[in-house]
Structure 1
Amino acid sequence: MALARRARRVVAIVVAALLALVVVGLGLAGNFLVDFALNPNAEVSMARSMREGGVGGLDYAEAPKFDEAYAAEAASWFEAEKRSVSHQASDGTLLLGWELDGANGDAYSDGHTWAVVCHGYIGEPADMAKYAYHFSQLGMSVLMPAARGHERNVDTDLIQMGWGDARDLLGWVDDIVARDPEARIILFGVSMGGAEVMMASGMSGLSENVSLIVEDCGYTSVWDEFVLQLDNVFGLPSFPILNVADAACLLRAGYTFEAASAVESLRSASVPMLFIHGDEDAFVPFSMLDECYDACASEQKEKLVVSGAGHGLAASTDPDLYWSTVDAFVAEHL
């Protein structure tokens, strides 16, 4: 009997030790994934993998671009005309961005029309120069916030994947309205910026001065996108690593991947919205377009599919279709 009891205790100790190792291992894996995806200063990171071509679906170099001359002109304009602006976020963080004036004598040069242009994951406002330039040429003033964990805000926080940035976006908009109560504001974003403006669309506190929202290739939720990329980059299933990383993200960044959902926010949206996606997008799957569009509660909504466009390349693949659609939507709802 004594020998049997001793054997059972040994087995229990071994099982407990193995379970502890599993828990510790999962915790380490979860924290690694948070650092990999959300820590801009991590030695091993998604940013580095993207730069080194280790992430599928980002075919920027190979894809034909039919607006390169325009993009180069826009980049020069951005560098010459940008001026620094700041926003004190609700949590006390000082965030930085760029502001640019609109051209005179154009359709929206009344001084009250603004485009707020939001960049993508591992990007920066300069990446959005051609979009900002287009709105500026229409006469709009342009605000280009840098997201947390990016550009001059790189040390403010872990990357928020659009979720915390959407709350910050509401504050940036309020800053504009405080300066100009008559402001008419467009929210525009690509990729993570697209998710950001969708997430902002249904948040309480969104100013009535926001007249319309345009999103380009934003994802349904951070959870959905990370499920895809966990398989894409590491060849791993989401369970249980992503579940543990979700808990680590809540502790370290203040949000969960599941809560950071554009789809859920869109269910409360009321602002006119235009959804854009390329049908060859493999990084944020094309199927996410209809999921977001169908979830949107706005009575006035449209979608544009750009044939042959990969991720973030809709404007480069068919500039005429892209901008004629955006401009018509703006003209109808601004």
Structure 2
Amino acid sequence: MNKKKVALISTGALGVLSVGALSLIGNYFYNLAINPKTSKEAIFGSKKESKETSGETVNEALSWLLCSSNYSDIYVNSSDGLKLHGYKILNNTTTNKWVITVHGYTSKGLEMNNYAKEFYNMGYNVLIPDLRGHGESEGNYIGMGWDDRLDILEWINYILNIDETSTIILHGVSMGAATVCMTSGEELPDNLRAIIADCGYTTVWDQFSHQLKSLYSLPNFPVMNASSVITRFKAGYTLKEASALAQVAKSKTPILYIHGDKDDFVPYKMMDELYNATASEKEKLTVENAAHAKSATTDSELYWSTIKKFLAKHV
């Protein structure tokens, strides 16, 4: 066998090995980050920290939602055939104002208990979805806000079917904030008046890249590239196309951004990146000394007074 053939065979063998290695890498990080069945303690270190990425950690046995809100379980079907679950809480007052408040990564609707109660006390009917792959909703992957943006449209339509004169706002924390930002770039009814995005990320690629460096001290290439290919194959979207930045650039809905300046999970700088990219009316609030998803508890008065002033302009 001549040297040229040996070189070609060796190159081919290395290529096969490289593809195999990249496939293993991509599958590993896909299962770690996108598969909802995987324990998130590998990422967050503890169940407590995992829950805190979505906002309030509540004792379900004592939660206002389950014990005092007179909620009802509701369901819609996603555009790709999943049965999605949510909680509907009708206000005691007669009102056509609605809020859809959206939980974060690896969490569920029940974890939005404190936010829901606050909006209810402000006179809103409340709808709290379990995002696909979370809580009681179907789904075998985490949408990271991208597929979820289309699911939010189904929840908006649910409300419009109840009352076509309703006025609706969206509120989200962490991945929930990215979800409502991604929703902002879609064709939305005039009923949707405002969006509140609390500590959302710019793109899934940027967020995972940050965590890859922070938790594993690994560079983007080739891990992110391999993971994106596997995500496209298994979940139907790429990590780069899942972009809140691109969506808010098309937004016609006023957006209030909130972020804690001590957030090292979703970097604080991402708020300005989103704010600067937003085409619609926009405001921003920095909550000093607030870590990730802790703005509402670090300075509750500032958090809710800012939201109330913002909503008074648009609802």
Q: Above 0.5 in TM-score? A: yes
Residue of structure 2 aligned with 1:142, choices 119, 123, 126 = 126
- Checking the alignment, whether the CA contact within 8 Å between 1:58 and 1:310 is kept in structure 2 is no
2:7 aligned with 1:11: yes
One-letter amino acid of the counterpart of residue 287, structure 2: V
Residue 310 of structure 2 aligns to a residue whose secondary structure is helix
How much is the aligned-residue C-alpha RMSD, in angstroms?
Answer: 2.4
Residue of structure 2 aligned with 1:32, choices 28, 32, 42 = 28
The 2-side partners of 1:316 and 1:178 are apart by 35
2:152 maps to what in 1? Answer: 169
Residue 231 of structure 1 aligns to a residue whose secondary structure is helix
**Max radius of gyration: which structure?**
1
How far off its partner does 1:94 sit? 1.3
How far off its partner does 1:103 sit? 3.9
The 2-side partners of 1:16 and 1:231 are apart by 31
1:318 maps to what in 2? Answer: 299
1:305 maps to what in 2? Answer: 286
The 1-side partners of 2:121 and 2:214 are apart by 39
The 2-side partners of 1:190 and 1:225 are apart by 15
How far off its partner does 1:58 sit? 7.6
The 2-side partners of 1:52 and 1:210 are apart by 38
Structure 2: runs of 5+ lacking an equivalent:
none
2:268 maps to what in 1? Answer: 286
Residue of structure 2 aligned with 1:20, choices 16, 19, 22 = 16
Residue 2 of structure 2 aligns to a residue whose secondary structure is helix
The 2-side partners of 1:242 and 1:272 are apart by 32
The 1-side partners of 2:225 and 2:118 are apart by 41
User: For 1:92-111, what aligned pairs fall within 5 Å after superposition?
Assistant: 92-104=81-93, 110-111=94-95
Q: When the two structures are superposed, what TM-score results if normalisation uses the length of structure 2?
A: 0.93
Query: Is the alpha carbon distance of 1:328 and 1:99 closer, same or farther for their aligned partners in structure 2, counting shifts above 3 Å?
Result: same
One-letter amino acid of the counterpart of residue 27, structure 1: S
1:274 maps to what in 2? Answer: 256
How far off its partner does 1:11 sit? 2.8
- Checking the alignment, whether the CA contact within 8 Å between 1:102 and 1:138 is kept in structure 2 is no
2:41 aligned with 1:48: yes
One-letter amino acid of the counterpart of residue 14, structure 1: S
The 1-side partners of 2:29 and 2:60 are apart by 38
- Checking the alignment, whether the CA contact within 8 Å between 2:260 and 2:268 is kept in structure 1 is yes
How far off its partner does 1:7 sit? 3.1
Structure 1: runs of 5+ lacking an equivalent:
105-109
Residue 25 of structure 2 aligns to a residue whose secondary structure is helix
One-letter amino acid of the counterpart of residue 182, structure 1: T
One-letter amino acid of the counterpart of residue 175, structure 2: M
State the 4+ residue runs in structure 1 displaced beyond 3 angstroms.
Answer: 57-61, 71-75
Q: When the two structures are superposed, what TM-score results if normalisation uses the length of structure 1?
A: 0.88
How far off its partner does 1:208 sit? 1.6
2:64 maps to what in 1? Answer: 77
Q: Cα deviations across residues 188-209 of structure 1 (Å, max 9, x unaligned)?
A: 00000000000000112x2221
1:242 maps to what in 2? Answer: 224
Query: Is the alpha carbon distance of 1:255 and 1:318 closer, same or farther for their aligned partners in structure 2, counting shifts above 3 Å?
Result: same
The 1-side partners of 2:84 and 2:213 are apart by 33
User: For 1:221-240, what aligned pairs fall within 5 Å after superposition?
Assistant: 221-240=203-222
One-letter amino acid of the counterpart of residue 197, structure 2: E
The 2-side partners of 1:92 and 1:73 are apart by 29
Residue 36 of structure 2 aligns to a residue whose secondary structure is coil
- Checking the alignment, whether the CA contact within 8 Å between 1:39 and 1:158 is kept in structure 2 is yes
The 1-side partners of 2:102 and 2:210 are apart by 23
